Amino acid sequence: MLKRDYIQRLIEEYAHTIAKAMGLKAQERNQEALELVRRGYHDYLQLDADVIDGLNATQLIEIMRQREVFTYGQLEIIASALKTEGELLLEVDSVKSRSKLQVALDLFLWIEQHDTANFSFHRKALVNSLQSALTA
């Protein structure tokens, strides 16, 4: 139980970090925001940002499921971070941006399918937003 509580606290802290990154984006400080999000993979999830760059959603899910404690919240925060990265990269590297957005969408869709105990309007809105962005 303590490990699950600890992981939940890390997820919440990373969510605050992502919100801070979005604030930096609003101030047009995209590089700073990107660095903050990428550093968070390591600080809050013990994942290397460069490794994440080469993974698809299925591979990320497998890595997370092999951990001693696995929660859907961990995947959801990774998806949120990837979505944020994709948005930050949009004007700099459209190919990398689309890739990040696609992996984020795939993670959110997987969570929707498997986490049947927790319906989320917010997650549904994110899925719709990502689908729209990727078809534009």
Q: Are 74 and 45 within 8 A, CB to CB?
A: yes
Amino acid at 1: M
Residue 120, pLDDT score: 87
Tell me how long the chain is: 136
Q: Are 90 and 105 within 8 A, CB to CB?
A: no
Q: How far apart are CA 13 and CA 113, in angstroms?
A: 26
Backbone angles phi, psi at 70, to 5 degrees: -120, 135
Burial 82-98 (b: 16+ CB within 10 A, else e): bbbbbbbbbeeeeeebe
Amino acid at 12: E
Q: What share of the chain is helix, strand, coil (3-state, %, to 5)?
A: 80, 0, 20
Q: Are 31 and 98 within 8 A, CB to CB?
A: no
Tell me if the pTM is above 0.75.
yes
| Local confidence pLDDT in tens for the 136 residues of the chain | 667 788 788 889 989 999 999 999 999 999 999 999 999 999 988 999 999 999 999 999 999 999 887 889 999 999 999 999 999 999 899 999 999 999 999 999 999 999 988 888 989 999 999 999 999 7
Residue 91, pLDDT score: 87
Q: How far is CA 26 from the centre of its chain?
A: 19
Q: Within 10 A of 21 (CB to CB), how many other CB atoms are there?
A: 26
Q: Are 60 and 103 within 8 A, CB to CB?
A: yes
Residue 10, pLDDT score: 84
